[in-house]
Structure 1
Amino acid sequence: MSTPSETGPAAPFIERLGREVRRRRQGAGLTVQTLADRAGLSRRMLTQIEQGTANPSMVTVDKIAHALGVDFATLIASPAAEPCHVSTAVEVWSSPAGSRAVLHVTSARRGGPELWEWTLASGDRYLAEADPPGSEELILVTAGTLLLETEGRSIPLDAGASARLASDRPYAYRAPEGGEPVSFVRVVEIGAPRTP
């Protein structure tokens, strides 16, 4: 089975991300080159991200967040100081097959829970890199059958099934070929960032 290529974040997310990366980088007194080096990226890539012209993967955004001393959710979330913050959903990832990942809301606490809604088209697959040690996800399948791939196993989860996944190792989500689209909700709790 071929894996469809990732198209990456949607345009509004890319623009907001670029502004926030630039704001945090300048606030920390870092040059573009210094932040690029810390994140393991090229200066050109970081410049394009700040200008909103790059299409970074979620892994790249995560690297930038950690280089800035925050987590993924903190980097992309709207500031929220009030006890009740009504969030606006942001499409963070999509694929040519029509799959998508939408981040609905994040905790105000660094590393706190993130609430995501995913849809995978038939035969589509999302391959994830390992999150920091201690990270985990809670998954609830709302339609179709999700194949959760981890440590050489493919675990089918039908609609109504739920699972807890240790996401501090590589894993993947897959929708069976020829089946209906898969929809699921995931709550992500990121462990402490790795220190160099």
Structure 2
Amino acid sequence: MATREKGEATAEFVATVGRQIRQQRQHRGWSVQELSDRARVSRRMLTQIELGQANPSLVTVDHIAHALGTDFVSLAMPPTTPAEEASGGRLGAAVRVWSSDRGSEAVLLLATESVPRTELWSWRLAPGDTYHAQPDTAGTEELHQVHAGELIIITSGSALVLRAGEAGRIRSDQRYTYRNDSDTWTEFTRVVTGA
């Protein structure tokens, strides 16, 4: 089956990230050029990201987050409301981060407040679709539980095959790929630890 090389960050994610980057940069009193230099992202790209006009890779967002002294989740999720802060909880914070033209999607459901964070994701991979990931920070791991279909996770040339009802773990501080070679949808939960 044909595979997709990449999808796109969703419009909601792009807008939220751009707004958060701009607010955090301005809060620090940094110019666009200063953040650009710190994050090793071109000034033009950074400006387009802040304006919601670019489709940044998740790795680029991560680089910018680290340059700001924060993390991916802080830029990807809307800020906690005063009511949520007062109650110590958070509801309805899910952000659709990635999608492909086949309908595959990755939704960041929630993350812990403490750092390093633990992130809870919901994924759907269409038949024949693929997602290629860049390495996360050193020591990061992912836990996966497949609810429907079959998930193939490629790391360092080896393949982990998980079927519905099965769970697995990988180190995600390396390049890895999610693949659905079947003719049915793959649905799984992903938990990222140490991010």
TM-score greater than 0.5 by the shorter chain: yes
Is 1:181 the equivalent of 2:182? no
Q: Which runs of 5+ in 2 are unaligned?
A: none
SS at match of 1:130: coil
The answer to whether the 8 Å contact 2:146/2:162 transfers is: yes
Which amino acid letter does the alignment assign opposite residue 184 of structure 1?
Answer: F
Q: CA deviation at 1:2?
A: 4.9
Which residue, out of 148, 155, 171, partners 1:166? 171
Pairing 1:134-145 to 2, within 5 Å after superposition: 134-145=139-150
The answer to whether the 8 Å contact 2:16/2:75 transfers is: no
The answer to whether the 8 Å contact 1:10/1:92 transfers is: yes
Structure 2 residue aligned with 1:9: 9
Q: Which runs of 5+ in 1 are unaligned?
A: 192-196
Q: Which moved more, 1:17-26 or 1:83-92?
A: 83-92
Equivalents in 2 of 1:95, 1:5: separation in Å? 10
Q: How many residues align?
A: 190
Moved over 3 A (4+): none
Equivalents in 1 of 2:106, 2:98: separation in Å? 5
Structure 2 residue aligned with 1:155: 160
Structure 1 residue aligned with 2:24: 24
The answer to whether the 8 Å contact 2:131/2:179 transfers is: yes
Equivalents in 1 of 2:141, 2:154: separation in Å? 14
Normalization by structure 1: what TM-score? 0.91
The answer to whether the 8 Å contact 1:5/1:96 transfers is: no
Q: Which moved more, 1:5-14 or 1:88-97?
A: 5-14
Normalization by structure 2: what TM-score? 0.92
Pairing 1:44-193 to 2, within 5 Å after superposition: 44-80=44-80, 81=85, 82-176=87-181, 178-191=182-195
Identity value in percent: 47
Q: CA RMSD in A?
A: 1.4
